[in-house]
Amino acid sequence: MPPLPTPSRAGRPLRLALCLSPLLVAAVWGLANQSLLYEGVTRLAHAEPGWLLAGGACTCLTWVVASCMRQGAVPDRLPPGLLLASQFAAGAANHALPAGLGAHAVTVRFLRTRGVPLERATASIALYSVARSGAKTVVLIGFLLSSSAWRRLGELVPDGVVLIPVAAALALAGVAMAVVRPLRRPVTGLVRCALTDARTVHARPSRVLALWGGATAMPLVQASVLACAGEALGLGLPWADVTLAYLAAGTAGGAVPVPGGVAVDAALVLTLAAFGAPPAVATATVLGYRVLTDWVPLLPGALVLSAMIRAKAL
């Protein structure tokens, strides 16, 4: 495999800005909500350790589910141990790039080391993303239909004017891909490869179960981490309401491409508060969720990432 190109000095400020942007956004929010943040941290320090351990177990389960989905998105057989290690390491990369791009980049690099061509590795990312978004939407609709708490989400829905720039950007990107030939050719090839691999994958029941079963389980497992943090802090909301809040906040905050999940966290605090949780407890719950899913695994994840790079597994 050819070595990765050496980063240019001109791109260093941009990479540095991407890495520091989550800290900057979090610092601004913290300065604007100092009393709320202080009370949330104080509550987190007195949380019930049993529920935090249960949340940690659910966090470990998310890496297993992600590994199942990655395997289900490619026809090739991948080594389970290395695949699981790559998904654990991918979590550390997500702190630098928004929208899961860090995890996707690590996964593409892992697939390339296993002999998967670049076009097929990229197509697997598209299939993974489609399955995850589609299954999450179905789960969200199911919770909306089965719960009366959805009525409290009305005031949190953004104004239609806010969605106009997003729709315009998507339309512009579609026109550019249709008109500009240098863009159309690689996109057309990627779509063709993705459709071919999708037919191959869906002809194997084990791959279908791994991909779509994992995609359905992922938001439920992630919401369970949040629910465990809430139980440890006395949030006072049932699991179904916490799950609905997580799904709704993730859908709204995920549209804002901010690294580190800061936009999702802000939307999650507002959604939990709209469901009746005290703002300080909601803030502490989201902090506990981030401690379990991001901060505690960050250092070991970075070490695993470094070890896999040195071993040329990435």
Q: What are the 10-residue block averages of pLDDT along the chain, 314 residues in total?
A: 49 52 53 60 79 94 95 92 92 68 87 89 89 90 78 52 44 51 56 74 91 95 95 91 89 54 77 88 89 85 87 84
> What pLDDT is stored for residue 239 in this prediction?
92
Of 46, 27, 59, 240, the C-alpha closest to 143 is 240
> What pLDDT is stored for residue 175 in this prediction?
52
Domain boundaries, the chain: 35-310
The answer to whether the Cα torsion of 136, 140, 143, 149 is positive or negative is positive
Alpha helices of the chain — where are they, by DSSP H? 12-32, 34-45, 49-72, 80-93, 101-113, 118-146, 160-179, 181-202, 205-208, 214-233, 239-253, 262-274, 279-290, 296-310
Under 8 Å between Cβ of 298 and 95: yes
pTM score, whole prediction: 0.76
